[in-house]
Amino acid sequence: MSLLHDVAHLGHVEVFTPEPEKSLWFFTEILGMTENGTDGDAVYLRTWDDYEHHSLKLTAHHTSGIGHTALRCTSQAALDRRVAAIERTGMGVGWQEGEAGIGPTYAFHDPDGHQIQLYWESKWYDPPQELRPALKNQAQAYPGRGVGVRRLDHVNYLAKKVSQNGDFVSDVLGGRVTEQIMMNDGTISAQWLHFGNKSYDLVYTSDWTGSSARLHHVAFATDTREDILRAADIMLDNGVFIETGPHKHAIQQTFFLYVYEPGGNRIELCNPVARLILAPDWRTITWTETERAKGQAWGLKTIESFHTHGTPPIAGDSR
Amino acid sequence: MSLLHDVAHLGHVEVFTPEPEKSLWFFTEILGMTENGTDGDAVYLRTWDDYEHHSLKLTAHHTSGIGHTALRCTSQAALDRRVAAIERTGMGVGWQEGEAGIGPTYAFHDPDGHQIQLYWESKWYDPPQELRPALKNQAQAYPGRGVGVRRLDHVNYLAKKVSQNGDFVSDVLGGRVTEQIMMNDGTISAQWLHFGNKSYDLVYTSDWTGSSARLHHVAFATDTREDILRAADIMLDNGVFIETGPHKHAIQQTFFLYVYEPGGNRIELCNPVARLILAPDWRTITWTETERAKGQAWGLKTIESFHTHGTPPIAGDSR
Amino acid sequence: MSLLHDVAHLGHVEVFTPEPEKSLWFFTEILGMTENGTDGDAVYLRTWDDYEHHSLKLTAHHTSGIGHTALRCTSQAALDRRVAAIERTGMGVGWQEGEAGIGPTYAFHDPDGHQIQLYWESKWYDPPQELRPALKNQAQAYPGRGVGVRRLDHVNYLAKKVSQNGDFVSDVLGGRVTEQIMMNDGTISAQWLHFGNKSYDLVYTSDWTGSSARLHHVAFATDTREDILRAADIMLDNGVFIETGPHKHAIQQTFFLYVYEPGGNRIELCNPVARLILAPDWRTITWTETERAKGQAWGLKTIESFHTHGTPPIAGDSR
Amino acid sequence: MSLLHDVAHLGHVEVFTPEPEKSLWFFTEILGMTENGTDGDAVYLRTWDDYEHHSLKLTAHHTSGIGHTALRCTSQAALDRRVAAIERTGMGVGWQEGEAGIGPTYAFHDPDGHQIQLYWESKWYDPPQELRPALKNQAQAYPGRGVGVRRLDHVNYLAKKVSQNGDFVSDVLGGRVTEQIMMNDGTISAQWLHFGNKSYDLVYTSDWTGSSARLHHVAFATDTREDILRAADIMLDNGVFIETGPHKHAIQQTFFLYVYEPGGNRIELCNPVARLILAPDWRTITWTETERAKGQAWGLKTIESFHTHGTPPIAGDSR
């Protein structure tokens, strides 16, 4: 599996919340994101290192879950190539007028039904005076509020059939599986895919409930692991539910903290220290059930809700 | 020089500012301190780990500088012993009604004229609901705003004659000199004194201008060195003047950052990592002029303004 | 409960090991301690910030566990006062010639039978040329090997009756209980005691097996939490068993990692960030069973072996 | 300037040293690199996260400086494309048998005369038993010795004409200038170029001496900024000359420390926290002389030797 470089990076993600005010408080006061306009029932939010208009579209909804995921292509030609490839699969929905800050956008679904969008045109963010950074190689001033997340890092989707979706991202979008889990019966139960040097941008995890198009979590990167340790204190003092962590994943070696935002969606704070995938011939790492049974890197057992909680919730999911 | 343990710790310090609104912005929004009442033109401010009413009294004044420094004694008997010792020196001013949260307070001057106060009675801080911490061994919730300073750490006074003042603190208050600088001519140009296991609480630095009762800086401790690195970003983005750092002092090995708050006073953010002075027979470390010429621990040259800038400013101090 | 200041700090601890070579590898190569001589079957080891001869005496033995714990007094007079107090309790063993680097030593037992020693005279460590530090306020050069532990931090004893032992340390040695756990039936199941500004130096934890004089763990402090995160990697790569962590204790808020050294003893790596107990009238924090059921600070459940594993092992302890 | 993705990453660099034993001590004991074979007077060394045979070839030589720099292409086709492009410029030297671990290698010079090599074939590193990591997504066990550098990060070349060389890397190798310095007279005095999401891989800095093919520095990335703070302590205790830092660059915002290894070459330890360049249409940041006069990010003045010291030394360079 080679890396095509037609998709540059994760642009933004739309998250649904049945608790829009509380979720907004979480993303602004707790994560330290900055509001950048609204669109009907949706609020645009940005991390401080995002050069684009927004990193997150927080949309009031009757339930939780994920709306669309937007990926930016590396050029107009790259976008056209990927659209052509998608159309050949029959998964395409069609061109749309882009939302705030974004040009023409091509919408489609992955095999599990998650809405994904591709775009090339993007208006660079121009901060207002009070958010102008001291260093001109930075998108906006550091907010100094809450966790201070730097970047939308990745999205982890729940899916009925992981490999079918991973194959789609590989074959059609030109991503590459850097790591995966294979069960004893040969089933692939999770796959991590990337488009550049970050070790993953999109992840598929097996949905044990057999539902479709659900969200496992959305992740934001912090500058340091210390930011994540402090984030855990902030979550604790502010009554935000900590599901598990801080700890280090064996897979991808990411330092992590998982919480539930007030709308019910699982949010990860992550930091890879200096890890990057530079090898052009990276060999997919396959973890076995036995290896996974050891738990996370330093021995923390994988929490049970990690296999059951997704959004929107299904009957029987108590959280 | 032994340690008497009659003085427990630095309680709070009063800082004068000719720019009360801007200084208040600095201490609350940039350092992340919490307001806890007012007294006329003064605002009481607290770090999140302070068990007492306030760590700082910020008082509007025609100029900058330091008002009083309050030290808490280890018991009523210890307070009485220290008051008796002060009265024998003739430096005593007398008993006062304590300010907010503090019981009867004995005021005096050090030989250089700095106002110091001793007290024993102190009403423990009881946070309002919105500042109640999740862990009951913590004074208040972590504010998640700006630098998030944990503790008032130490005060560094400028003085005409350093050793005269250091001797006073040793002999009368029962402190101990942990480190000092001796010039080639035998003059002591700076002394660091402590009352417990922190390696210093009060510092005297030679005032080259020959003035009296001035302030070199007030210091606040952060939990980590990463907090100080981030603080430097926050200062930069908010237009707060960074004088020097972050770097590591050779003396005391403290990781530091020096800035000027809008009122003109020098403020240090400091972190000692895990350093403590546990030895009951600690031997004062004396640094020579030659050793000081090497600069700070990792080679940073000591900045010129460190020897000239104090508050209140004197004629010819451009900042 | 007030703090007497007759005991200055934990001096060193003797640990027994049935695997002396492997344990020595652990303490030198993994923790980064420095050998400083031998005494028969024992090796003296030091952390790099210890001003005394040694922090740990590692003694070959038929089983694991703790030998003696040595506490340094603040003066000869303080030592004499404590010896007199101990003799009144009938727990005294008597004066011994001190071991390497230490003067006359008074041995006694706590009520549970742990061997403790008090001493005053101590020869300051003088590093050999190759271990001479660049900064003269540091005991020895930083070794740059393994974890690089800075300081022996505390000892946690298992005891049949916690409060009986905590009372002994309070009443006879002048320590103070900073935090404790009280069961629903009123039993105190753990107590943390301190002698200075560190929030604890000696800890008693209930031994559910009803054994006597056992060890729960010995702890070493690192400079930073990052050191502990890295330590976990080092343990993992070197096959050292990680019991639990890294995480943050609710009690005392210490950031921790627990491992078993090859001799079977539990070793903690700990970091308090900037936390100190400065209040002379500190109010003991009492945690209830309900509060403890919440797990550690950020929600990690307390590991089962924490209540069962001690050294030396007893029948039925599989590790 | 777009990014071509034909060059994947910096593979390794050859450094010359007139002090081979001392330099080897520096790279293994101080930086914590691992030896992986020799070739005549050269020693192959690796960082622990390198998937290839070596990150550094340390070659005994009559003087200091840089030998060749090896860049890995993303495929055989990409290599062939770049070789064709180089041959069109007339800068090609020709194909060579690759050194240890590397397949057929194409050698050429940049306009300033630095030797550069391109290759595709690379034998993945297979660690011996004692260096086998616990996690199979890691190249080798973490050494736990000295600084523990993770990755060869970038090379900074001195060049007579910066833009001529930057244009060559852009036009012929497909790199992109992320940031640069422009003097008041319009001259480009430094350019930072990258091939993937790291914000720079190759840098050209103006050589004020008018020499050719010299080295400014070679940089290694650490996992954290704390690693760099600790590195400064290690350098200090081991007598390694610290030129400047730790501090944060305004350009690229990299946290840095510069030292001279015993052979005289400047070595940087660097950490970008979570910064990556994800924008496919990144806009080159151009810094003016006025902006540069402000010093580094937090105000540290750029050290004078930064403009004068390079290797090999020229007459009049005292270090």
Q: How far is D287 from chain C (nearest CA, A)?
A: 34
Closest by CA position to D5, among listed A193, A10, A75 = A75
Are the CB atoms for D161 and D112 separated by under 8 Å? Answer: yes
pTM of the full predicted structure?
A: 0.97
Cβ of A137 within 8 Å of Cβ of D197? The answer is: no
Q: Is the pLDDT of residue B120 over 80?
A: yes
Are D168 and D110 a contacting pair, CB within 8 Å? yes
Identify whether C138 is part of a domain. no
Report the alpha-carbon distance of residue C277 to residue B49 in Å, rounded: 10
Termini Cα distance of chain A = 38
| Chain A residues touching C248 at Cβ < 8 A | 229, 232-233
In percent, how much of chain A has pLDDT > 70? 98
Q: Which residues pair with D269 in a beta bridge?
A: D220, D257
Nearest CA in chain C to D147: C144
Whether D318 shows a pLDDT value over 60: the answer reads: no
Interface contact B145-A145, CB threshold 8 A: yes
Which of C226, C236, C255 lies nearest to residue A298, judging by beta carbons?
Answer: C236
Q: Is a pLDDT exceeding 50 seen at residue B319?
A: no
Lowest-confidence range among B139-143, D265-269, D303-307? Answer: D303-307
Domain with B255, as residue range(s), is: 7-127+148-307
Which residues in chain A (66-125) have CB-CB distances under 8 A to chain B? none
Residue pair B257/B231 in contact (Cβ under 8 Å)? The answer is yes
Beta partners for residue C270, in sequence order: C221, C256
Tokens 């707060």 belong to which residue? B240
Instruction: With a cut of 70, say whether residue B318 has pLDDT above it.
Output: no
Tell me, yes or no, whether A129 lies in a domain: no
Question: Closest-CA residue in chain A for B144?
Answer: A146
- The shortest C-alpha distance from B175 to chain D (Å) reads 30
Interface probe for D, chosen from B235, B238, B298, B300 (most Cβ of D below 10 Å), is B298
What pLDDT does B316 receive? 59
Half-sphere exposure of B314 (CA within 13 A, CB side): 14
Would you say residue D200 has pLDDT above 50?
A: yes
Grouping H, G, I as helix, E, B as strand and the rest as coil, residue C257 is strand
Percent of the residues in chain C that have a pLDDT greater than 90, as a whole number: 93
Contact assignment for B135 to C280 by CB distance below 8 Å:
no
The string of pLDDT tens digits covering residues A210-244 is: 899 999 999 999 999 999 999 999 999 999 999 99
Q: Does A2 fall in a domain?
A: no
User: Angle at the Cα of C282 (from C277 to C287), degrees rounded to 5?
Assistant: 95
B242:D297 CB<8 A: no
Rounded to an integer, the average pLDDT of B56-78 is 98
Q: Using CB atoms, which chains have 3+ pairs under 8 A with B?
A: A, C, D
Q: What is the pLDDT of residues C53-89, one digit of tens each?
A: 999 999 999 999 999 999 999 999 999 999 999 999 9
Q: Which residues does chain B have within 8 Å of residue A234's beta carbon, measured at their own beta carbons?
A: 142, 144
Tokens coding A65? 């879950």
Which of A225, A229, A260 is the best mutation test for C, with the most CBs of C within 10 A? A229
* Segment D37-52, tens digit of pLDDT: 999 999 999 999 999 9
Domain count, chain B: 1
Number of Cα atoms under 13 Å in the Cβ half of residue D160:
9
Kindly tell me if the per-residue pLDDT of C315 is higher than 80.
Answer: no
pLDDT averaged over chain D? 96
Count of C-beta atoms within a 10 Å radius of residue B23: 25
When CB atoms are compared, the residue of D271, D279, D283 closest to A274 is D271
The answer to the question of residue C133 being in a domain is no
Report cis status (omega within 30 of 0) of the bond before D128.
no
In the prediction, which pLDDT does B304 show? 87
pLDDT of residue C3: 87
Query: What is the ipTM for the molecules in this complex?
Result: 0.96
Reduced to 3 states (helix: H, G, I; strand: E, B; else coil), residue C110 is coil
pLDDT of residue C318 exceeding 60: no
Check CB contact under 8 Å for C142 and D224: no
Rounded percentage of chain B residues whose pLDDT exceeds 70? 98
Per-residue pLDDT of chain A (319 residues; tens, 9 = 90+): 578 999 999 999 999 999 999 999 999 999 999 999 999 999 999 999 999 999 999 999 999 999 999 999 999 999 999 999 999 999 999 999 989 999 999 999 999 999 999 999 999 999 999 999 999 999 999 999 999 999 999 999 999 999 999 999 999 999 999 999 999 999 999 999 999 999 999 999 999 898 999 999 999 999 999 999 999 999 999 999 999 999 999 999 999 999 999 999 999 999 999 999 999 999 999 999 999 999 999 999 988 888 889 999 987 554 4
- Tell me how crowded residue D309 is: count the other CB atoms within 10 A of its CB: 24
Render pLDDT for A167-201 as a digit per residue (tens, 0 to 9): 999 999 999 999 999 999 999 999 999 999 999 99
Burial class from Cβ neighbours inside 10 Å (0-12, 13-18, 19+) for residue C290 reads exposed
Which pLDDT does position C307 carry in this prediction?
Answer: 81
Contact A297 C236 (CB under 8 A): yes
Query: Is residue A44 within 8 Å of A37, Cβ to Cβ?
Result: yes
Whether D115 maps to a domain, the answer reads yes
Q: What is the CATH number of the domain that holds B172?
A: 3.10.180.10
Six-digit token string for C95: 């004066």
Q: Distance between CA C208 and CA B290 in Å, rounded?
A: 60
Nearest to B142 among A133, A224, A237 (CB): A237
What's the pLDDT at A1? 55
Mean pLDDT for chain A overall:
96
Of A141, A148, A234, the CB nearest to B142: A234
Phi and psi at residue A241, in whole multiples of 5°?
-70, 120
Query: Distance of alpha carbon C245 from its chain centroid, rounded?
Result: 18
Interchain contact, D236 vs C30, CB within 8 Å: no
Q: Does D148 touch chain A (CB under 8 A)?
A: no
Q: In the numeric block, which tokens belong to residue A301? A: 């057992």
d(CA B292, CA A26): 49
pLDDT of residue C297: 95
Neighbours of C242 (CB within 10 A): 18
Q: What is the pLDDT of residue A304?
A: 87
Which chain A residues touch B146 with a CB distance below 8 Å?
A: 144
State residue B295 phi and psi, 5-degree precision.
Answer: 90, -160
At B1 the pLDDT is 55
Report helix angle A225-237 to B225-237, nearest 10. Answer: 90
Residue in D2, D122, D150 closest to A274 by CB: D150
Give the distance, in angstroms, between the CA of residue B5 and the centroid of all CA atoms in the same chain. Answer: 19
Query: Is pLDDT of C317 > 80?
Result: no
Confidence at residue D319, expressed as pLDDT on a 0 to 100 scale: 45
Would you say how long chain A is, in residues?
319
Distances (CA, A) of B187 to A22, B111, B205, B209, D93: 62, 17, 12, 16, 67
Q: What is the residue-averaged pLDDT of chain C?
A: 96
Model confidence pLDDT, tens digit, residues B241-298: 999 999 999 999 999 999 999 999 999 999 999 999 999 999 999 999 999 999 999 9
Give D303's contacts (C-beta < 8 A, 6+ positions apart). Answer: D243, D244
